[in-house]
Amino acid sequence: MTTPVGRGAFIVLEGCDRAGKSTQCRLLVEKLKDSNIPAELVVFPDRSTPIGQVISEYLKKEVQLPDQAIHLLFTANRWERAEEIKSKLEKGCTLIVDRYSYSGVAYSSAKEKKTSSFQWYKNPEEGLPKPDAVFYLNLEPEIIAERKGFGGERYESAQFQKDVAECFKKLNDGSWKIVDADKLIEDLTTELYSYVTEIVRLSKDKPLGVMW
Ligand code: NYM
Ligand code: MG
Protein backbone atom coordinates (compact mmCIF):
# COMPACT_ATOMS: atom_id res chain seq x y z
CA MET A 1 0.00 0.00 0.00
CA THR A 2 1.41 3.38 -0.93
CA THR A 3 1.22 6.29 1.45
CA PRO A 4 -0.44 9.47 0.14
CA VAL A 5 2.96 11.22 -0.10
CA GLY A 6 4.57 8.33 -2.01
CA ARG A 7 7.93 6.74 -1.36
CA GLY A 8 11.21 8.49 -0.75
CA ALA A 9 13.93 8.74 -3.39
CA PHE A 10 17.12 6.70 -3.32
CA ILE A 11 19.89 9.06 -4.40
CA VAL A 12 23.56 8.09 -4.59
CA LEU A 13 26.60 10.34 -4.80
CA GLU A 14 29.66 8.70 -6.31
CA GLY A 15 33.19 9.74 -7.16
CA CYS A 16 36.83 9.35 -6.23
CA ASP A 17 38.18 10.07 -2.75
CA ARG A 18 38.12 13.74 -1.69
CA ALA A 19 35.67 14.73 -4.41
CA GLY A 20 33.44 16.29 -1.73
CA LYS A 21 30.76 13.58 -1.56
CA SER A 22 30.46 13.44 2.22
CA THR A 23 30.14 17.23 2.60
CA GLN A 24 27.55 17.43 -0.18
CA CYS A 25 25.54 14.48 1.16
CA ARG A 26 25.36 16.09 4.60
CA LEU A 27 24.34 19.47 3.18
CA LEU A 28 21.71 17.95 0.88
CA VAL A 29 20.07 16.12 3.79
CA GLU A 30 20.02 19.38 5.81
CA LYS A 31 18.47 21.29 2.90
CA LEU A 32 15.80 18.64 2.29
CA LYS A 33 14.87 18.62 5.98
CA ASP A 34 14.72 22.43 6.01
CA SER A 35 12.13 22.13 3.23
CA ASN A 36 10.17 19.56 5.26
CA ILE A 37 11.14 16.69 2.96
CA PRO A 38 11.93 13.69 5.20
CA ALA A 39 15.53 12.68 4.47
CA GLU A 40 18.40 10.72 5.94
CA LEU A 41 22.05 10.17 5.23
CA VAL A 42 23.42 6.68 4.52
CA VAL A 43 27.18 6.16 4.24
CA PHE A 44 29.05 3.24 2.68
CA PRO A 45 31.16 1.68 3.94
CA ASP A 46 29.16 1.73 7.16
CA ARG A 47 32.06 1.26 9.56
CA SER A 48 29.80 0.85 12.60
CA THR A 49 28.70 -2.74 11.85
CA PRO A 50 30.86 -5.83 12.62
CA ILE A 51 31.63 -6.21 8.89
CA GLY A 52 32.26 -2.48 8.65
CA GLN A 53 34.84 -2.69 11.41
CA VAL A 54 36.87 -5.23 9.45
CA ILE A 55 36.58 -2.99 6.36
CA SER A 56 37.82 -0.05 8.41
CA GLU A 57 40.84 -2.05 9.64
CA TYR A 58 41.58 -3.11 6.07
CA LEU A 59 41.43 0.50 4.83
CA LYS A 60 43.73 1.62 7.67
CA LYS A 61 46.13 -1.16 6.61
CA GLU A 62 45.80 -2.91 9.97
CA VAL A 63 44.73 -6.20 8.33
CA GLN A 64 45.48 -7.83 4.98
CA LEU A 65 42.77 -9.57 2.98
CA PRO A 66 42.61 -11.12 -0.49
CA ASP A 67 41.01 -8.77 -3.04
CA GLN A 68 38.01 -11.04 -3.45
CA ALA A 69 37.42 -11.23 0.31
CA ILE A 70 37.46 -7.48 0.89
CA HIS A 71 35.26 -6.98 -2.15
CA LEU A 72 32.64 -9.34 -0.76
CA LEU A 73 32.81 -7.63 2.63
CA PHE A 74 32.07 -4.24 1.04
CA THR A 75 29.08 -5.85 -0.70
CA ALA A 76 27.93 -7.63 2.46
CA ASN A 77 28.07 -4.26 4.21
CA ARG A 78 25.45 -3.01 1.72
CA TRP A 79 23.31 -6.13 2.15
CA GLU A 80 23.40 -5.49 5.92
CA ARG A 81 21.52 -2.23 5.32
CA ALA A 82 19.29 -3.28 2.37
CA GLU A 83 16.07 -4.07 4.26
CA GLU A 84 16.35 -0.90 6.32
CA ILE A 85 16.90 1.13 3.13
CA LYS A 86 13.80 -0.36 1.50
CA SER A 87 11.68 0.17 4.57
CA LYS A 88 12.74 3.82 4.98
CA LEU A 89 12.06 4.56 1.31
CA GLU A 90 8.63 2.94 1.57
CA LYS A 91 7.84 5.14 4.56
CA GLY A 92 8.52 8.22 2.44
CA CYS A 93 12.03 9.00 3.64
CA THR A 94 14.46 10.13 0.93
CA LEU A 95 17.94 8.65 1.33
CA ILE A 96 21.06 10.50 0.30
CA VAL A 97 23.72 7.84 -0.01
CA ASP A 98 27.46 8.46 0.16
CA ARG A 99 28.89 5.74 -2.18
CA TYR A 100 27.21 2.50 -3.26
CA SER A 101 27.82 -0.57 -5.45
CA TYR A 102 29.54 1.57 -8.10
CA SER A 103 32.38 2.35 -5.67
CA GLY A 104 32.46 -1.35 -4.86
CA VAL A 105 33.11 -2.35 -8.46
CA ALA A 106 35.27 0.66 -9.40
CA TYR A 107 37.76 0.35 -6.52
CA SER A 108 38.03 -3.46 -6.70
CA SER A 109 38.49 -3.57 -10.45
CA ALA A 110 41.00 -0.69 -10.43
CA LYS A 111 43.51 -2.83 -8.56
CA GLU A 112 46.77 -3.33 -10.36
CA LYS A 113 46.85 -7.08 -9.92
CA LYS A 114 43.19 -7.41 -10.79
CA THR A 115 42.24 -10.91 -9.77
CA SER A 116 38.72 -11.11 -11.15
CA SER A 117 36.58 -9.79 -13.96
CA PHE A 118 34.39 -6.70 -13.97
CA GLN A 119 31.36 -8.97 -14.07
CA TRP A 120 32.62 -10.98 -11.08
CA TYR A 121 32.72 -7.80 -9.01
CA LYS A 122 29.21 -6.84 -10.09
CA ASN A 123 27.59 -10.21 -9.39
CA PRO A 124 27.18 -10.07 -5.58
CA GLU A 125 25.48 -6.66 -5.89
CA GLU A 126 22.63 -8.31 -7.83
CA GLY A 127 19.34 -7.95 -5.98
CA LEU A 128 20.24 -4.87 -3.94
CA PRO A 129 17.85 -1.90 -4.13
CA LYS A 130 18.69 0.27 -7.14
CA PRO A 131 19.21 4.02 -6.83
CA ASP A 132 16.74 6.34 -8.55
CA ALA A 133 19.64 8.58 -9.48
CA VAL A 134 23.44 8.54 -9.40
CA PHE A 135 25.34 11.80 -9.24
CA TYR A 136 29.00 11.50 -10.12
CA LEU A 137 31.16 14.22 -8.61
CA ASN A 138 33.82 14.72 -11.22
CA LEU A 139 37.20 16.12 -10.21
CA GLU A 140 40.59 15.95 -11.97
CA PRO A 141 42.99 13.50 -10.27
CA GLU A 142 45.56 16.32 -9.89
CA ILE A 143 43.10 18.38 -7.85
CA ILE A 144 42.12 15.35 -5.79
CA ALA A 145 45.79 14.72 -4.91
CA GLU A 146 46.16 18.28 -3.59
CA ARG A 147 43.11 18.16 -1.32
CA LYS A 148 43.67 18.08 2.45
CA GLY A 149 43.68 14.70 4.16
CA PHE A 150 44.45 12.69 1.01
CA GLY A 151 46.91 9.87 1.40
CA GLY A 152 46.05 8.34 4.77
CA GLU A 153 44.16 5.20 3.80
CA ARG A 154 44.58 2.35 1.41
CA TYR A 155 43.67 3.37 -2.20
CA GLU A 156 44.55 7.02 -1.58
CA SER A 157 47.27 7.55 -4.16
CA ALA A 158 47.08 9.78 -7.21
CA GLN A 159 47.68 6.92 -9.68
CA PHE A 160 45.13 4.63 -8.09
CA GLN A 161 42.48 7.37 -8.11
CA LYS A 162 43.10 7.82 -11.85
CA ASP A 163 42.47 4.11 -12.38
CA VAL A 164 39.34 4.27 -10.21
CA ALA A 165 38.04 7.20 -12.30
CA GLU A 166 38.51 5.10 -15.45
CA CYS A 167 36.55 2.22 -13.91
CA PHE A 168 33.74 4.56 -12.86
CA LYS A 169 33.54 5.71 -16.48
CA LYS A 170 33.13 2.12 -17.66
CA LEU A 171 30.35 1.55 -15.13
CA ASN A 172 28.25 4.51 -16.17
CA ASP A 173 25.32 3.16 -18.17
CA GLY A 174 24.58 6.65 -19.46
CA SER A 175 22.02 7.42 -16.79
CA TRP A 176 24.39 9.14 -14.33
CA LYS A 177 24.42 12.86 -13.88
CA ILE A 178 28.08 13.95 -14.10
CA VAL A 179 28.64 17.07 -12.03
CA ASP A 180 31.76 19.23 -12.09
CA ALA A 181 32.87 19.18 -8.43
CA ASP A 182 35.59 21.82 -8.83
CA LYS A 183 33.54 24.70 -7.47
CA LEU A 184 32.54 26.38 -4.22
CA ILE A 185 30.84 24.04 -1.76
CA GLU A 186 27.62 26.10 -1.64
CA ASP A 187 27.43 26.42 -5.44
CA LEU A 188 27.77 22.65 -5.82
CA THR A 189 25.07 22.10 -3.18
CA THR A 190 22.69 24.48 -4.98
CA GLU A 191 23.28 22.68 -8.28
CA LEU A 192 22.83 19.21 -6.79
CA TYR A 193 19.81 20.26 -4.75
CA SER A 194 17.82 21.30 -7.79
CA TYR A 195 18.41 17.87 -9.36
CA VAL A 196 17.65 16.12 -6.07
CA THR A 197 14.26 17.79 -5.60
CA GLU A 198 13.35 16.80 -9.15
CA ILE A 199 14.29 13.16 -8.48
CA VAL A 200 12.29 13.22 -5.23
CA ARG A 201 9.26 14.41 -7.19
CA LEU A 202 9.72 11.85 -10.00
CA SER A 203 10.35 8.86 -7.69
CA LYS A 204 7.21 9.21 -5.55
CA ASP A 205 5.05 6.91 -7.67
CA LYS A 206 7.75 4.75 -9.27
CA PRO A 207 8.49 1.25 -8.01
CA LEU A 208 11.96 0.87 -6.54
CA GLY A 209 14.37 -0.82 -8.95
CA VAL A 210 16.71 -3.74 -8.35
CA MET A 211 20.45 -3.92 -9.03
CA TRP A 212 22.16 -4.34 -11.34
N1 NYM B 1 35.32 1.61 -1.09
C2 NYM B 1 34.08 2.02 -0.73
C3 NYM B 1 35.50 0.39 -1.76
O4 NYM B 1 36.63 0.03 -2.09
N5 NYM B 1 34.42 -0.38 -2.02
C6 NYM B 1 33.14 -0.02 -1.64
O7 NYM B 1 32.19 -0.76 -1.89
C8 NYM B 1 32.97 1.25 -0.97
C9 NYM B 1 31.60 1.67 -0.54
O10 NYM B 1 36.47 2.60 0.67
N11 NYM B 1 38.65 4.82 -0.64
C12 NYM B 1 36.49 2.42 -0.73
C13 NYM B 1 36.52 3.80 -1.31
C14 NYM B 1 37.26 4.63 -0.27
C15 NYM B 1 37.16 3.79 1.00
O16 NYM B 1 35.37 5.21 1.73
C17 NYM B 1 36.48 4.49 2.15
P18 NYM B 1 35.24 6.76 2.15
O19 NYM B 1 34.02 7.24 1.44
O20 NYM B 1 36.50 7.43 1.67
O21 NYM B 1 35.12 6.75 3.64
MG1 MG C 1 38.03 8.37 1.44
Domain assignments of the chain as residue spans, ordered by start? 10-203
ipTM for the predicted complex: 0.98
- To test the pocket of ligand 1, the residue of 99, 111, 144 to mutate (highest count of ligand atoms within 8 Å of its CB) is 99
Q: How far is the CA of 35 from the centre of ligand 1 (A)?
A: 30
| Per-residue pLDDT tens digits for 43-100 | 999 999 999 999 999 999 999 999 999 999 999 999 999 999 999 999 999 999 999 9
Q: Which ligand is nearest to the CA of 147?
A: 2
| Per-residue pLDDT tens digits for 166-197 | 999 999 999 999 999 999 999 999 999 999 99
Ligand 1: which residue has its CA nearest to atom 6?
Answer: 104
> Is the domain covering 10-203 a CATH 2.60.120.10 domain?
no
Pocket of ligand 1 (CB under 6 A): 17, 44-45, 59, 74, 99, 103-104, 107, 155
**pTM summary value:** 0.96
Q: Angle between the 101-109 and 158-171 helix axes, to the nearest 10 degrees?
A: 120
What is the band of 3 on the pLDDT scale with cuts at 50, 70, 90?
A: very low
